[in-house]
Amino acid sequence: MPCEMEKIRAEGFAAVVIDILRASTTIITALANGAERVIPLTTLEEARARKEKEPDALLGGERNALPPPGFDLGNSPREYEPERVKGRTVILTTTNGTRACQAAVAAGAEVVVIGGFVNRRAVVEFCRSFPGPILLVCAGTRGRFSLEDSLYAGSVISGLGEGLQLSDGARACLTLYERWQGCDLAALVGGSTHGRRLADLGFGEDIRLAAAVDSHPVLPVYREGEIRLEPIGTPGF
């Protein structure tokens, strides 16, 4: 959780930033659909100032799940289709997800990757190939626990196999995943607090997209202020 991140030092760790609904799903989708890079920023002011400097970039994101005034795009993965994003830079600011990216960097993580159900296998392969410890950063919702993020963290841990040294939080995530493994993922994600809210706002289709396991087999890596795709399984550090 981002609130815990303030106390965590992550030098030597690889961090996986997780915001299933919807920032990580949207970032992965945008890059898989051909966006050149995504620049995650914390505040609306920072994002608008960056757009002024880079007027050709697309300005995307949300506040209270809706696109802020003057933005080109919201935070729905559906909007980041190839015709819209191919070859473009996306400046993105969201309530929890882009903050979690910054928190992972501030904690000193050696490398930061973006994880979602849509690229689960790529993230598991990356974690397997990373020589050091892994920090799974669940963005949560306004500092609170999110079922969908924890379920995904558990699915990554499960994919890494036996014999791992797990924190209490990681064990809880794994137990959650094992309890629900094989269930209808879209229904579980859609039944979460934020999932119900998004459905009420008319974003039900985003839940189905967020639960489409391995629909985008790519590895987004956040380095020096921008997120780009890197080859899967190549730690490169």
Residues that bind ligand MLT (CB under 6 A): 19, 21-23, 62, 65, 75, 94-97, 198
**Given the complex with ligand MLT, which of 5 and 198 has the nearer CB atom?**
198
Q: Least separation, in Å, of the C-beta of 211 and ligand MLT?
A: 14
Shortest CB 157 distance to ligand MLT, Å: 22
Amino acid residing at 79: E
Pick the closer one to ligand MLT by CB: 210 or 218.
210
User: Which of 14, 12, 26, 18 shows the shortest CA–CA distance to 150?
Assistant: 18
For the bound state, the minimum distance from the C-beta of residue 199 to ligand MLT, rounded and expressed in Å, comes to 11
For residue 74, the minimal CB distance to ligand MLT (Å) is 7
Encode 203-217: b = buried (16+ Cβ within 10 Å), e = exposed: beebbebbbbeebbe
For ligand MLT, the closer CB: 65 or 138: 65
Q: How far is CA 68 from CA 92, 110, 140, 163, 228, in A?
A: 11, 32, 21, 45, 24
Rank residues 95 and 130 by Cβ distance to ligand MLT and give the closer one: 95
Q: Which two tokens stand for residue 3?
A: 């609130």
CB of 115 to ligand MLT, least distance (A): 14
Going by C-alpha positions, the residue among 183, 185, 156 that lies closest to residue 169 is 156
Instruction: Indicate the residue whose CB is closest to ligand MLT.
Output: 94
Q: Is the dihedral of CA 28, 235, 143, 148 positive or negative?
A: positive
What is the C-alpha to C-alpha distance for residues 218 and 123, in angstroms, rounded to an integer? Answer: 8
Nearer to ligand MLT, 130 or 149 (CB): 149
